[in-house]
Chains A and B, each alone.
Chain A
C-alpha cells in the first residue's frame, strides 16, 4: 500500500490566545487558596446550598449568593473513578498522567463536589465515603493546581 501523506496542522510552541475571567467570586476562592490555604464556599440565601466553586448566582433559586463560608479543608469522596485510558490533554498538548484518581470531593460544610486528583498509591483505599485532605503546593499561584492532590486519611 502506498504511504498516505497527511495534512498536518501545527500550532508549534504557540500558546492558546485565551484570557478567561473567573469573576469576583472565583478570584476570592483562588486568592484565599493561594495566600491562606483556605477554601471558600458561598451559601445561597434561599435554599441554603453551599457552592464550591463559589459563584454569584444560585441557578435553581435564581438569587444572588451573598454569604461566604469557609469549608474543608477535609472532605469525603462522593464518587470517583480511576482514569486508565491514555489521551492528549488539549490544555497542554501532552498526555494526561494516566492512571490517575479522579475524585468528586465534598468538603466538610459544602454541598457540591470539587473535582481533583486523588492519590492511588494503594488503589484499594480509594472508595466512596473515605475521608481525604488536600496536599497544598509549596509555591502557590492562584489556580486549582495550588492543591496538588487529595490524600486519603482513612
Chain B
C-alpha cells in the first residue's frame, strides 16, 4: 500500500531574466537552502533527491551529476527527470511516487533553469521532429498561436479577451516577490505590444527566466512531525496524446481534458469550480487561460472568456487563478511546473503572504509541454483518506 505524501517545505530563488552572479549549481543551492529552512530540516535529513531541467537550454547534460555541490546530492541517491515544459510538474509527480513508495521518507525535489544561457526558441526546436516538424516550427509561441487562432475563430473571441488574462496575471505578480515581471499592465498595453505570431502579442506570452525551486516531500510516517500543517498530495494525473505537432486537435487540449477528468474522479471531486479554492495554472500564453480551464472542466467549452471577464479568477473572486502571477510573469522553464506546485502548497499551508487566498482547502497545479501534453496535481489541507 502506497504511503500518503505531503509537502513540508518549499524554497524559491528571486527569479530574474538574467543571473550572471551565479552558475547553475549555485542557483540551485539558493532554492535548496530556502526549502530546508522552510521545513526546518538539514541536508542530513534528506533521503533522496529528484532533480531536473531541460538540458538543451544550457547545453550541459546530466545535472544530476554536476550539480551535487549545490543540490546537496553528494553521496545521496539522485535521479534526474526531464520532460520538456512539464519538467517541473513531472518532478513533483516523480517525487510524489518515490516518497509514496515507502522506500524514502524525505525527498528533496529540485527544478531549475537558466534560460538566459542560450537561445530559448532554438533550443525548443531541437525537441521536435527534424524531418516533419522543424521546417516551419518556430518554438512554443507559434504552435500556441495556432491553437489560439483556432479557438478564436471557432468561438469569436478576440485578442482583447485574451489580454484580460495577461492583465490579471501581471496584477497578481505584483504581490509575489519571487516573480520576474512585477509591473501592472493594461489591456491597451497588451494590444499595443508587438504581434509575435498572430494572434499572440508580446505581452500575451511568458518571459525567459533564470530561477530554481525546491520542494521537500515527506511520507505520512514523518510529515506531521516535520510540519504541523503540511500540504497533502491528493492525487496526480498526466496525459500524452500526440507525436507530431500537426496531430493535434485544433483549439482544444485533450491531454488536459482527460488528465483533469481522471484526477477529479480519483479524488472524488464532482464540481471542480465549486470545490477547488485556487489554481496555479501552467499557462504559457494568455489564450490558454481561457481554453485550458474549459478543458479542465471548470467552465463549459466556449464560456471561458466570459468567466475571465467576470473577475471570478481574480484575487477575491470565486476561483482565483495564478495568485503568484503565473508563467506569464515568470518562466524558468525546468522550474516552472514545480513553482506551480510550491505556490499551490503555500496556499494550502497559509504561507502565501500578500498573495494568500483566504481559507484554502483544495489547490491545483498543472504543467504543460511539447505536443500539448499535461500534468495535473491536487493538494489538500486534509490528509487524504
Contact = CB atoms under 8 A, between A and B. Distances in A.
Most chain B beta-carbon contacts within 10 A, residue among A51, A79, A104: A79
B104 interface: no
A109 interface: no
Contacts of B136: 83, 100, 102-103, 115-117
B137 A87 contact: no
Interface residues of B, number: 39
B312 interface: no
Contact of B135 (A83, A127, A128, A144): A144
Contacts, number: 107
Contacts of B133: 115
A81 B244 contact: no
Contacts of B130: 18, 20, 91
A82 interface: yes
B198 A53 contact: no
A76 to B, nearest CB: 11
> How many interface residues does chain A have, given as a range?
35 or more
A113 B246 contact: yes
A83 B153 contact: no
A125 interface: no
B197 A84 contact: yes
Given A78-B250, A84-B196, A115 B150 contact: no
Given A52-B246, A78-B250, A128 B131 contact: no
Nearest to A149: B136
Contact of B246 (A112, A117, A128): A112
B138 A96 contact: yes
B250 A115 contact: no
Contacts of B250: 78-79, 104, 113
A144 B197 contact: no
Contacts of B244: 53, 112, 115
B198 A81 contact: yes
B200 to A, nearest CB: 8
B139 A20 contact: no
Contact of A81 (B119, B132, B145, B248): B145
Contacts of A79: 146-147, 149-150, 153, 250-251
Contacts of A59: 243
Contacts of A114: 246
Interface in B107-161: 119, 121-123, 125-126, 130-139, 141-142, 145-147, 149-150, 153
Most chain A beta-carbon contacts within 10 A, residue among B123, B150, B247: B247
A103 B246 CA distance: 10
A102 B144 CA distance: 12
Contacts of B141: 85
Q: Closest 6 A-B residue pairs measured CB to CB?
A: A113-B246, A81-B145, A79-B150, A90-B122, A87-B121, A85-B196
18 contacts: A26-B132, A51-B247, A59-B243, A79-B150, A79-B250, A81-B198, A83-B197, A84-B194, A87-B119, A89-B122, A90-B125, A91-B134, A103-B136, A112-B246, A113-B246, A113-B250, A115-B246, A117-B136
Interface of B: 119, 121-123, 125-126, 130-139, 141-142, 145-147, 149-150, 153, 194-200, 243-248, 250-251
